[in-house]
Amino acid sequence: MNRRLSTLTGQPRQLDGGVMFGAVPRQLWASWIAPDHNNQIGLASRALLVQQDRQNILVLAGSEGLLAPLPRACSCQHYAAGLLDSLAEHGLGEMDIHAVVLTHLQARLSPELQAAVRAGDMPRLLFPRARYLVGERHWIRASHPHPLDRALFVQPIIGQLESSGRLALVEGTSSELLGPGWHFQVSDGYTPGQLLPEIDMPGGKVVFAGDLLPGSHWLRLDVTSALDRNPECLVEEKERLLDHLVAIRGRLVLARDPAVAMVKICRDRQSRYQPFDHHTELRRLDS
């Protein structure tokens, strides 16, 4: 099967650095990613485009990337390039996407989108011809969220997915819709039932890390975020994933890292995980 991988960039986001780095001292994490005066750090919104046998498949971490951009109130407003613009650089539009794999359904909306949701002006879902693939166990979580993470599940998004008629729940570690060469690991540490797609490529398997491992600074096992629902479980899952990547010489796509799109992983003499062979973007990695 011919397969091509590329990374796409959505609108960057600002999030509280203390939340993203949890118990890590501010002095340390601020040396990794410099915060602004409000303690906000810049993070990427990176997606993976997989093109195989005339199919275009998107892999997204979270569901905010599914929302159509809000119209500008006037031409003087700053235009922020987003996922559709990145897709257009590959000669594709939203009607060309056949499937969207959602690692999980939590969404971090911009202030403008939050205001639109509160006002009842919920944007439509993008990619009207695509099937939306979600882990079955995670769908249950999203449909009946715990009070601790209820605010991260935007119910109008969940409702649109359910009523679309194109929702496909992934029960095991593979999907007939995607065909051979796709394997799903399931993670519970960040949110129960998060899917981590592992894609076969001749140069080695490629894993999309979702929010289990958002960026290269989270390779340290003791670095977790305040958003992780089960930090101890997450650390164990992260260690298993990184050991797996070291053993198979696989590559890791990072959804949130502001500077790094893909890395390989090794262990140093102190058995710490270290990234190498950095790619700031991935443009047409072919099989």
Average pLDDT over residues 218-237: 96
- The pLDDT value given to residue 186: 97
Average the pLDDT over 209-230 and give the result.
96
3-state secondary structure the chain: CCEEEEEEECCCEEEEHHHHHCCCCHHHHHHHCCCCCCCEEEECCEEEEEEECCEEEEEECCCHHHECCCCCCCCCCCCCCCHHHHHHCCCCCHHHCCEEEECCCCCCCCHHHHHHHHCCCCCCECCCCCEEEEEHHHHHHHHCCCCCCHHHCCHHHHHHHHHCCCEEEECCCCCCCCCCCEEEEEECCCCCCEEEEEECCCCCCEEECCCCCCCHHHHCCCCCCCCCCCHHHHHHHHHHHHHHHHHHCCEEECCCCCCCCEEEEEECCCCCEEEEEEECCCCCEEC
For residue 214, pLDDT over 90 is answered with yes
Q: Domains in the chain and their CATH numbers?
A: 3-71+79-286 (3.60.15.10)
Give pLDDT, residue 79: 66
Answer yes or no: is pLDDT of 38 > 70: yes
Task: Please state the rounded mean pLDDT for residues 171-192.
Answer: 96
Beta carbons of 198 and 103 less than 8 angstroms apart: no
- On the question of pLDDT at 81 being above 80, the answer is no
Name the phi and psi angles at 195, rounded to 5.
Answer: -95, 135
Sign of CA dihedral 90, 133, 247, 260: positive
> Does residue 175 come out as left (phi exceeding 0), alpha (psi in the -120 to 50 range) or beta?
beta
The model's confidence at residue 118, banded by pLDDT at 50, 70 and 90, is confident
pLDDT, position 226: 95
Task: Say which residue, 185 or 283, is predicted with more confidence.
Answer: 185
Residue 222 is predicted with a pLDDT of: 95
Judging by beta carbons within 10 Å of its beta carbon (0-12, 13-18, 19+), is residue 33 exposed, middle or buried? middle
Amino acid at 219: L
